[in-house]
Structure 1
Amino acid sequence: MPQLFLNEKSCESKADPERVNRAMTEMVRAVLAVAREDRAGTRLFSREPVNALQLAQGHAIGKWIGTPGARDLWVRLLQMQTKWPHREAFPEGETHSDVEYRHDGQSVEGLGSAHLTGGLGVSLPVEPCWDADRLTLVREELLDDEDGGSALTDVEVEHAARREHVATHLSWIRRGADSVRQKAVEGLRSGTELWSLKAELFPHLQFTRLAEQYFVELPEVWVQPVGERLGELQDAVSDWNPDRQPIAPQWRSYVRTEFEARRRLCWFTDDDGENRLFDWHCDFLPSPGRMHFRLLHEERTLRIAYVGRKLGK
């Protein structure tokens, strides 16, 4: 579950409006890139509500929202779960009042909260110091001794201000998403539940509308195995670059196309009403479970049309 913390210091510059708006656009694209990997689990924490943010001195967020192309990004940002203030991410009763984090001598509450919780700091790349995928902070912690002293430590916090920075953190993001996904799949008892959570658990996969009938009919014994296969397909297309792998992704389990003699069984109605061949498939236990899909190279994903007993059985 990626927890993102807005660096309030990156919103206190005196930069010109055009520069601030460009920086906000870059940062929001980075936030949405994280959310694309874990739509259900991503949270954005800020010092104040996002609709009340000041992006720079005298520059309210509304000025950015009114710029070309920003409205769609703003709507997508609002669809995420956002919370404030930063301490809302701490366990109940914990304040961490004995710890302070500084960057270049200035207190940075948001970045400090990211380090305390194992989260990711995000900043507007208005200044070069925030345009990095990792930042070094000075952590000062009060010591519980008679002298009342403190200890200073240099620490590193994961950070993003642009989409390019997010690429360096994908393994971390996906590990968290995989853990949440696996726990959710283990708790499912029906195909109806699995279908209702598909967008949250498998955001990179597509499903035909008519596929719902097959998921609803899944016996309970097949629900978890199907969820696990969907997770493997999701991971495969997440890493897929059709320019380097023009035929198919690097599959995480045994996936292949159907034999020529059986392809007549693999035609299904797509969402535009056209019958298309969904002959790529994988197995799931107990046998003879099968899932059929077709690859969408231009969209770097796949679309599932069928799940159930092996066709023709």
Structure 2
Amino acid sequence: MPLLFLNERSWKTACDPARAERAMADFVDAVRAAAKEDTADTSLVSEVELKSLEIAEGYPIGKWIGSSPKNHARWQRLLALRSRSPVRSVFPTPDADGHLEYHYKGEEVLGLGAAHFMDGIAVSLPVAPEWQRPAVTLERTELVELADESMEFEHETVDVRHISAPPHVDEHLAWIRESSLARAATGRQIWERKADLYPHLQFLSRTEAHLSDLDPRWVVPVRRRLEQLDAAVALWEPTARPEPEWQSKVTPESQTRREVCRFVDFDDERRLFEMHARFTPGMGRVYFRLVPEERAIRLAHIGSKIRPDL
């Protein structure tokens, strides 16, 4: 089950008590519906402890709990889930998010950003129209390395899975079930499940060690890049286009560095695997070559940027 990240922007807003009551009912129902697939392993992640939240300005969650038996029962249903705080407590390492920031309408957002970074789901209190939808668009700023090895901030818009009422859960139900049963949680699991998870990707044997020893910070970024590469190849018609329409930034290696990208292929011939996708934190790379005759791409390196001595 993916982690559920509380959107702090949806709390402590101007809202009358009656609207707050309805919003909390929808919120609890949505969270419980999302967790239903795997309640024991579901965590609701927030920047502060749930009992410290204010549902609306001047309306703390403690007051809501004590206002009626129904609300107390809803609170008990929330407590049945494991809760964790702060948001960074679930990151693979304490500095795992130091390379990027997420903003919504110009303001940094922790819960929404963490949901995207950790490939989870954001959950909101539906007190405003902007939180009453199954996806939220964010601005993502990431520190990346350029071809000349200088560093630059790269900006893009990304969509994060989002729920605030039970109907939103239906939008993501297939993904939730997949996450519960087959989503790789370690680099080793990526290797062991690669044929099922990425049917259009071929892995040289040397990548087994790369994935088995994969830095925990890189599991989610690598998984996301592999998913994007596989999805792009699935839609590729080699007779119509020389390469797929990539879903992330993919470039060839510079002329001065091409020779470090030659590896022994399946047939024992050395070939150029210069195409690469990036991932962070750090200078993560997935190096590969196109195999149009099989409508596939073949991966030769997953890890840090290749240096001449590697």
Question: Normalised by the shorter chain, which TM-score bucket?
Answer: 0.5 to 0.7
Cα displacement string for residues 158-178 of structure 1 (whole angstroms, at most 9, x for unaligned residues): 000001101111111111223
TM-score, structure 2 as length reference: 0.55
2:143 and 2:178 map into 1 onto residues whose CA distance is: 33
> Which amino acid in the other structure matches residue 34 of structure 1?
A
Aligned-residue offset at 1:87 = 0.9
Q: Say yes or no: does 1:12 pair with 2:12.
A: yes
Q: Which residue of 2 aligns with 1:225?
A: none
Q: Which residue of 2 aligns with 1:137?
A: 138
Q: Say yes or no: does 1:102 pair with 2:103.
A: yes
Q: Which residue of 2 aligns with 1:126?
A: 127
2:175 and 2:3 map into 1 onto residues whose CA distance is: 12
Aligned-residue offset at 1:41 = 1.7
Q: Which residue of 2 aligns with 1:60?
A: 60
Map 1:18-167; keep pairs closer than 5 Å: 18-68=18-68, 69-144=70-145, 149-167=152-170
1:12 and 1:30 map into 2 onto residues whose CA distance is: 19
Task: Please give the secondary structure, in 2, of the residue aligned with 1:137.
Answer: strand
Contact kept? 1:2, 1:38, Cα under 8 Å: no
Q: Which among 168, 172, 180 is matched to residue 171 of structure 2?
A: 168
> Which amino acid in the other structure matches residue 160 of structure 2?
V
1:93 and 1:86 map into 2 onto residues whose CA distance is: 10
Q: Which has the larger radius of gyration?
A: 1
Task: Please give the secondary structure, in 2, of the residue aligned with 1:92.
Answer: coil
Aligned alpha-carbon RMSD (Å): 1.8
TM-score, structure 1 as length reference: 0.54
Task: Please give the secondary structure, in 2, of the residue aligned with 1:141.
Answer: strand
> Which amino acid in the other structure matches residue 154 of structure 1?
T
**How many residues were matched structurally?**
180
Cα displacement string for residues 185-207 of structure 1 (whole angstroms, at most 9, x for unaligned residues): xxxxxxxxxxxxxxxxxxxxxxx
1:39 and 1:163 map into 2 onto residues whose CA distance is: 16
> Which amino acid in the other structure matches residue 176 of structure 1?
S
Q: Tell which deviates more after alignment, 65-74 or 165-174.
A: 65-74
Map 1:286-301; keep pairs closer than 5 Å: none
Runs of 4+ in 1 over 3 A off after TM superposition: 143-149
Aligned-residue offset at 1:148 = 5.4
Contact kept? 2:7, 2:111, Cα under 8 Å: yes
Cα displacement string for residues 93-144 of structure 1 (whole angstroms, at most 9, x for unaligned residues): 4331221111122211100000000000000110100100111111011234
Over 3 Å counting, the alpha-carbon distance change for 1:138 and 1:14 in structure 2 is same
Q: Which residue of 2 aligns with 1:231?
A: none
Cα displacement string for residues 203-238 of structure 1 (whole angstroms, at most 9, x for unaligned residues): xxxxxxxxxxxxxxxxxxxxxxxxxxxxxxxxxxxx
> Which amino acid in the other structure matches residue 137 of structure 1?
L
Contact kept? 1:38, 1:173, Cα under 8 Å: no
1:58 and 1:142 map into 2 onto residues whose CA distance is: 39
Aligned-residue offset at 1:54 = 1.7
2:107 and 2:71 map into 1 onto residues whose CA distance is: 30
Q: Tell which deviates more after alignment, 126-135 or 31-40.
A: 31-40
Aligned-residue offset at 1:37 = 1.5
Over 3 Å counting, the alpha-carbon distance change for 1:56 and 1:147 in structure 2 is farther
Contact kept? 2:103, 2:138, Cα under 8 Å: yes
Contact kept? 2:5, 2:111, Cα under 8 Å: yes
2:23 and 2:48 map into 1 onto residues whose CA distance is: 19
Aligned-residue offset at 1:15 = 1.3
> Which amino acid in the other structure matches residue 94 of structure 1?
D
2:177 and 2:85 map into 1 onto residues whose CA distance is: 25
2:72 and 2:139 map into 1 onto residues whose CA distance is: 37
Contact kept? 2:88, 2:94, Cα under 8 Å: no
Aligned-residue offset at 1:65 = 1.1
